[in-house]
Amino acid sequence: MTGRPQVGIWSIGPSVYLPSLLFGIGQGAIAPVIPLSARELGGSVAMAGLVVALLGVGKIAGDLPAGLLAVRLGERRAMLLALGVVLVALAACILASSVVVLSVAMIAIGVSSSVFGLARHAYVTEAIPFELRGRALSTLGGMQRIGLFTGPFLAAAVMPWLGVVGGYWVHVVAAIAAGVVLLVVREPPVPAGRGADAAGSASRRDSTARVIRRHLPILRTLGVGALLVGAARASRQVAIPLWGEHVGLDPATTSLLFGLSGAVEMLMFYPAGLAMDRLGRRGVVVSSMAVLGMSLVVLPLTGGAATFAAVAMLMGLGNGLGSGIIMTIGSDVSPAVSRATFLGAWRLFADLGNGAGPVLVSVVTAVATLGTAIVAAGVVAFLAAALMGHWTPRNGGGRPDSDRPPDGDGPPDGDGPPGGAGPPS
């Protein structure tokens, strides 16, 4: 067994959590201004929605290349490259003269965010001991949530002087600050004999297609469950504002309650990680999806601000309970070699779900009613709970990665599909 230095969660704060927080602030700052920019450039409301969607398309498109970049360039260089691309894309947003230019920039920002997120995910998986992994990854997710929550407020503060492009300038400053941190602050080393240095030669020989084929038993079971989790989570982002409008709440009230729901979710990240490490991944993901599903199912029964607020808070609680859970389960089942490539494929499933959730609500609303669509999203959450409850390995995969057979040859504790072993019967 290779010795594992005890890298603590807070020891990686300056090198891992701070850049992630800064990047999240930038992403949050541009979120509300993207559709406004598209409208200012002459795009229709439908076109503005498409431009926003292209950010998610870029994330999906970037998941698999992100794994290859992390392997070939190293995680730090991959993140710096991503930040460089983001800065070029933000300059294009600021100077854009057409919706087409803005659209291309959105795709580039989405791809870059995938590279940045994958590199952080892979590093934390390597550096943090197994018994702290849930807290470490839920904290990583929490930093992103805090950034997304605070970013719009910073954008709003500068927009009176800079106009709509003020949101992009906030992201420029945040991206430069993140790059400076990455260049100045050194990361604690990963355990000797593991990680990208140990597995680099094998990873370079393995194509993405080969890695996916080798670990298909995980991706077609847990991966599908992760996709459904992502779809249920993303559905809430459209369910809350649309139902608020449906029951007659004014936009300001709906936005306030949406923000309060996000605040509840944000505050849950560390308790969620503690629960993952102490109680196991399976119970946390099932509980999270069950609470989220119940809140989605009962949301169409609300008819006023008080009941709407209560259900929105419950929704934030359920979603926050699962903070970092998909990253953690992905880390638990990832192989010792080709890890970044595998995590790129894993994150692709979650991001596909994130894109599918709002589409599900839109399609069902078009053929039935908004209430039916929201209930359908709740059913997806319950299905996700069932599948993740069945496929998630007991105790998060059992043993630390250093105890696993190389490249995942066999399950870690005989109770799940990790590493190329067949799924449980």
What's 152's domain CATH number? Answer: 1.20.1250.20
Q: What is the spatial distance between Cα 54 and Cα 104, in angstroms, rounded to a whole number?
A: 8
Burial of 53 (0-12, 13-18, 19+ CB in 10 A): middle
- The amino acid at residue 374 is I
Among residues 174, 189, 205, which one ends one of the domains?
205
Find all residues with CB under 8 Å of 180, minimum gap 6, and list them: none
| Domain ranges, residue 409 | 206-425
Q: Where are the beta strands (DSSP E) in 74-145?
A: none
Answer for the pair 261, 315: CB distance below 8 angstroms, yes or no: yes
Judgement on whether residues 222 and 168 belong to the same structural domain of the protein: no
Judgement on whether residues 74 and 154 belong to the same structural domain of the protein: yes
Answer for the pair 259, 251: CB distance below 8 angstroms, yes or no: no
Going by the DSSP 8-state scheme, the letter that residue 404 receives in this structure is S
The SS3 of residue 40 is: helix
Largest CA distance in the chain: 62
Closest of 280, 304, 305, 241 to residue 133, by C-alpha: 280
Judgement on whether residues 108 and 176 belong to the same structural domain of the protein: yes
Judgement on whether residues 232 and 347 belong to the same structural domain of the protein: yes
Instruction: Mark residue 248 as left, alpha or beta (left: phi above 0; alpha: psi -120 to 50; beta: remaining).
Output: left
Judgement on whether residues 40 and 189 belong to the same structural domain of the protein: yes
Q: What is the spatial distance between Cα 2 and Cα 5, in angstroms, rounded to a whole number?
A: 10
Q: What is the spatial distance between Cα 322 and Cα 138, in angstroms, rounded to a whole number?
A: 8
Among residues 157, 176, 205, which one ends one of the domains?
205
Tally of domains within the chain: 2
Q: How many CB atoms lie within 10 A of CB 11?
A: 14
Helices and strands in the chain, H and E counts? 18, 0
How much is the pLDDT for 396?
Answer: 52
Judgement on whether residues 172 and 307 belong to the same structural domain of the protein: no
Instruction: Quickly list H helices, 216-336.
Output: 216-219, 222-246, 251-267, 269-279, 281-298, 305-321, 325-333
Judgement on whether residues 219 and 332 belong to the same structural domain of the protein: yes
Judgement on whether residues 43 and 114 belong to the same structural domain of the protein: yes
Mean pLDDT of successive 10-residue stretches along the chain, which has 425 residues: 57 90 94 89 85 91 91 90 97 95 96 94 90 93 91 90 93 97 86 48 63 93 95 90 88 83 91 94 96 97 92 95 94 89 94 89 87 95 96 64 40 40 35
Burial of 114 (0-12, 13-18, 19+ CB in 10 A): buried
Judgement on whether residues 227 and 152 belong to the same structural domain of the protein: no
Judgement on whether residues 185 and 220 belong to the same structural domain of the protein: no
Judgement on whether residues 411 and 336 belong to the same structural domain of the protein: yes
Q: What is the spatial distance between Cα 422 and Cα 239, in angstroms, rounded to a whole number?
A: 37
Closest of 276, 13, 16 to residue 135, by C-alpha: 276
Q: What is the spatial distance between Cα 43 and Cα 47, in angstroms, rounded to a whole number?
A: 5
Closest of 199, 147, 140 to residue 328, by C-alpha: 140
How much is the pLDDT for 201?
Answer: 42
How much is the pLDDT for 187?
Answer: 81
Residue located via tokens 């593991």? 194
Closest of 418, 417, 397 to residue 134, by C-alpha: 397
How much is the pLDDT for 21?
Answer: 96
Judgement on whether residues 392 and 311 belong to the same structural domain of the protein: yes
Six-digit token pair at 285?
């993901």
What is the separation of C-alpha 40 from the centre of its chain, rounded to a whole number of angstroms? 29
Among residues 189, 205, 221, which one ends one of the domains?
205
